[in-house]
Structure 1
């Protein structure tokens, strides 16, 4: 099966039902993450509310096969922060919300992901980071990501860097030696992040049914950073003062360090932007007008809603 056929198969397999993630992993031949004993395997999941005290940092690092679920991380106190890293194989993060504005300086990438094994997988589902904050990235995917990463039902708003920064796995050897892992984003919402809302960079990466709104600046809503051949399906970009879809990096292209590798593909996408399509690399596909500006169905609108999703409630919303 060639790359384009695979992407269409993957896209078709992604229904808007709540239980598709495991099926997607099975179709890719990946191992589904299972909870580690004594962690999150309770038959009746409970929400854990973590209140981070002033000047403190809540830290969690996932191991191979671990599941983290149903957690509210409250960083409302001055100088409170969090560090959530999943740099392992076959892990799952679901139903996690961050409450409060980030005002913590030591790290600008508090949520970092990677699947270093090319046969491994990682899943993030139902994640809320909508309260914003200065000097931080929403989600960063490390250059050593080599496996398959599925991100679904994200809500990332008002951060001062990229909402989703997932281009480094596609970086050339002389830049960061990216390992080429796929990052597939479904049913997610990005709003008013100061750098690209959704930044991808490998040829098997995909964004489907995502909405990006940028009312504040001139950066792109969706970007294929390396001109790698990322596919955007049923995505909407609204940027009255900025860009819609961008392919490639003018800086790298002008230095001749990096050449465009493939065309960026658009399928049934819409944009209303000052510059709807741009960049040094080729974009294939036509845009329709009248983009959506509200979150897709299933996107959590608060930290509590994200954490309590599997319980059918929204305590503290």
Structure 2
């Protein structure tokens, strides 16, 4: 089921430094970045207070203008316990705060930490742990900037495993709100958060020196509507947004996504996964380092005490990755084309809507592609791959996108995609089906389609969640304030739509 925003509460030169080196050099200057305050990474270990929230209770903590809330461990391990931290005014500081326990309170869809200036000014939040996450179908966001009118710096924060949102920092730029406060996220570790790991929405807002990692959509809990679409960085609402010196790796959804008038720049970032929408790329490469930054707390106790451990981090290697590393870090799904043993110099060609990368070193006896195999950019968002193999040799590529056409003699070729043997018809789904409910906020549209060929869900066309199903050419599901997308072959042979959503079918023939 596609995303429901309305359910929210209404209350140059290539850099010579990688992320690790940058953080080490920047450590001495950390105190001068953003609002005033002692950097958590340099703070002495301190005693802390424990706030234990009883079962089935929502604890509201107000931090008012000019106040400091620090060295607190908030224990929500009791069943149904929840905390809601609200900041007000400006000049406040939230420092050394860890939330212990997985949020399993199912009442409401509001946020957990509201880190915002409700008037013009500056504020600081640092050394925050929200890494225990939330249960499946829990509607609470981890962090929100609702009503932010000033400049908030959030640094050394760990947000992991939240089912509704990770850092939802675009409210201030929403056309309804437009309080237009700026959010500056620094040295964050954001992992397996649903809908977005970090969403920015006002000019001047940025995320930098951070790690954003989605291992797979199956590793992410669904939101209150059962939806799973875990994006990495989302530029939304406004322009002038940035991700700087970040390592971003997302499997199954968008690594970087710009939509709803949002646009931004990736600068000196390492990215694995689709980059979609109005996103300018400046010195963007692959092979992101997804280990936690040194400055981020890895437990609630570590955050509350102000003590940082670097034991979970690793140093960058100056050597080339081995074949296993290359395969695990490569962008896309492995496609292997294997000719019969007695075949010699047989040709193939296929087209992908997206990108393709050669596999240049094989794990064990895996196939690789050679210099003579060509990947040609067609200039329209597609690439065409052509090559020749035989005499006991096959070719292999990492495919990031939809294979829309393939030309080869299936009688002499065996195809393996994502480790499974497939046919050409399994791979080539050239047609698109999009069910769009974004223009009918708050209304559900249920649909059933039947096609004469094969079909599969498509993250690049819309959301992907377990409640939408594809079986034997029958597509069924529901859309709510967003879009669902599918690719298929053949023709649409049956159609039923109950609700106000619009439908778009694109036939490539």
Q: Same fold judged by TM-score > 0.5?
A: yes
Q: How does 1:217-296 map to 2 (within 5 A)?
A: 217=217, 218-249=229-260, 259=261, 263-273=263-273, 275=274, 277-279=275-277, 281-296=278-293
CA distance in 1, matches of 2:181, 2:24: 19
Higher relative contact order (CA 8 A, sep 6+): 1
CA distance in 2, matches of 1:93, 1:139: 13
Aligned to 1:81: 82
Please state how far the C-alpha of 1:160 moved relative to its aligned partner.
0.7
The equivalent position to 2:151 in structure 1, one of 145, 148, 156, is 148
SS at match of 1:169: helix
Is the CA contact (8 Å cut-off) linking 2:144 and 2:169 kept in structure 1?
Answer: yes
What are the Cα deviations for residues 254-312 of structure 1, in whole angstroms up to 9, with x where unaligned? xxxxx45xx51111101111x2x102x242424201001111111000000001125x8
**Shift in CA distance, 271/148, structure 1 to aligned 2, threshold 3 Å:** same
Q: How does 1:47-62 map to 2 (within 5 A)?
A: 47-62=48-63
Aligned to 1:297: 294
SS at match of 1:306: helix
Please state how far the C-alpha of 1:73 moved relative to its aligned partner.
0.6
**Shift in CA distance, 78/180, structure 1 to aligned 2, threshold 3 Å:** same
Aligned to 1:113: 115
Aligned to 2:33: 24
CA distance in 1, matches of 2:45, 2:127: 18
Is the CA contact (8 Å cut-off) linking 1:33 and 1:90 kept in structure 2?
Answer: no
**Shift in CA distance, 64/19, structure 1 to aligned 2, threshold 3 Å:** farther
Q: How does 1:94-105 map to 2 (within 5 A)?
A: 94-105=95-106
Please state how far the C-alpha of 1:128 moved relative to its aligned partner.
0.5
Please state how far the C-alpha of 1:19 moved relative to its aligned partner.
6.8
Aligned to 2:306: 309
SS at match of 1:69: strand
**Shift in CA distance, 305/197, structure 1 to aligned 2, threshold 3 Å:** same
Please state how far the C-alpha of 1:95 moved relative to its aligned partner.
0.5
Q: After TM superposition, where is structure 1 displaced by more than 4 Å over at least 4 residues in a row?
A: 12-15
CA distance in 2, matches of 1:235, 1:91: 27
CA distance in 2, matches of 1:301, 1:308: 12
1:166 aligned onto 2:169? yes
CA distance in 2, matches of 1:128, 1:180: 26
Moved more, 94-103 or 224-233: 224-233
CA distance in 2, matches of 1:308, 1:56: 25
**Shift in CA distance, 25/288, structure 1 to aligned 2, threshold 3 Å:** closer
Aligned CA RMSD, in angstroms, stands at 2.6
Aligned to 1:139: 143
What's the TM-score, normalizing by structure 2? Answer: 0.50
Paired positions, count: 269
CA distance in 1, matches of 2:178, 2:238: 14
SS at match of 2:115: strand
Aligned to 1:71: 72
Unpaired runs of 5+ residues, structure 1, are 1-11, 27-31, 35-42, 250-258
CA distance in 2, matches of 1:235, 1:284: 13
CA distance in 2, matches of 1:243, 1:180: 25
SS at match of 1:242: coil
Please state how far the C-alpha of 1:105 moved relative to its aligned partner.
2.5
Unpaired runs of 5+ residues, structure 2, are 1-21, 39-43, 218-228, 310-509
CA distance in 2, matches of 1:192, 1:44: 29
What's the TM-score, normalizing by structure 1? Answer: 0.78
